[in-house]
Amino acid sequence: MRIPELFGRGKPVFSFEFFLPKIQDDMAAFRSTVVDLKRLAPSFVTLTYGAGGSARDRTIEVAGMIKQELGIETASHLTCITHTRAEMAQILERVSGFGIENIVALRGDPPKDVALPPLESREFRYATDLVRFIREKERFSMAVAGYPEKHPEAVSEDDDLRRLKEKVDAGGDWVITQLFFDNRHYFRFVERARGAGIRCPIVPGIMPVTGFSQLQRFTTMCGASLPPDLVSALEPIQDDRDKVVRFGIEYATRQCRDLLSGGAPGIHFYTLNKSHSTATILSLLR
């Protein structure tokens, strides 16, 4: 199944993102979470990419397990910042060997423990280079990343939007956005993207709040802002996990309903490998 075929059928496309467990001992719990969420019949799921060494191989194997053993359409994340073209060609062969037809094509973050060569000598300088390379293979559909509040490294919103247009023009079939908590950012982003000539589906990425300190850490890393009303609601209850989770479910459900009523083609849930919040929200939406 090519995921772009799912859009435009008159129904919201719901999808989940999982991350690769760091240690093998966590695989049983991970598989259980995926099975729990499978009963919600997501249109597809994505699996984040472990770029180095054994993590890279495990990512592809786990994506293959989700696709083949659990029977869920899977888009495998691929990052290119540390790879050569020869390495990427081998990776794509392995991904294709598991029957995976969809890729989330990303540059990836600079690794903390590996010195990268100068930008001008890298074979993949930007995500656009990876998208163009994969499109040459003519085997895969691709999602690319969009940033409603701009990428933290972008010099301006206009520069960031130009980068997105380049990725789409190079072969990106749909856009998955970075997380955000104020829907006005998404709707303004879509309006600007359409004005720039980007016509593909732009799917909002939503992360249900499950912990206040974790939320602050994530938004700092990715450059997303926290609305004052969200912060003021969470601060008094931050030490009560159950209350935080309940609030997160209510907040995300309101967000999703507003996004869908405003024309969003679906919702991509950042699950953090937890099933309860996502399952509850999706049940309420349906």
For the annotated catalytic residues, the residue numbers are 17
Long-range contacts of 69-72 (CB under 8 A, 24+ apart): 70/31, 70/34, 70/35, 70/38, 71/38, 72/34, 72/38, 72/42, 72/44, 72/45
Answer yes or no: are the C-beta atoms of 174 and 4 closer than 8 Å. yes
Q: Closest Cα partner for 50 from 86, 85, 24, 89?
A: 24
Distance CA 17, CA 270 (A): 5
**Among 43, 56, 47, 46, residue whose Cα is nearest residue 82:** 56
Contacts of 201 (CB under 8 A, 6+ apart): 4, 7, 8, 13, 174, 175, 265, 266
Q: Are strands 13-18 and 44-47 parallel, antiparallel or unpaired?
A: parallel
Contacts 24+ apart (CB under 8 A), 6-9: 6/43, 6/44, 7/174, 7/201, 7/265, 7/266, 8/201, 8/265
Distance between CA atoms of 38 and 282, rounded to whole angstroms?
12
Distance (Å, rounded) from C-alpha 75 to C-alpha 63?
Answer: 8
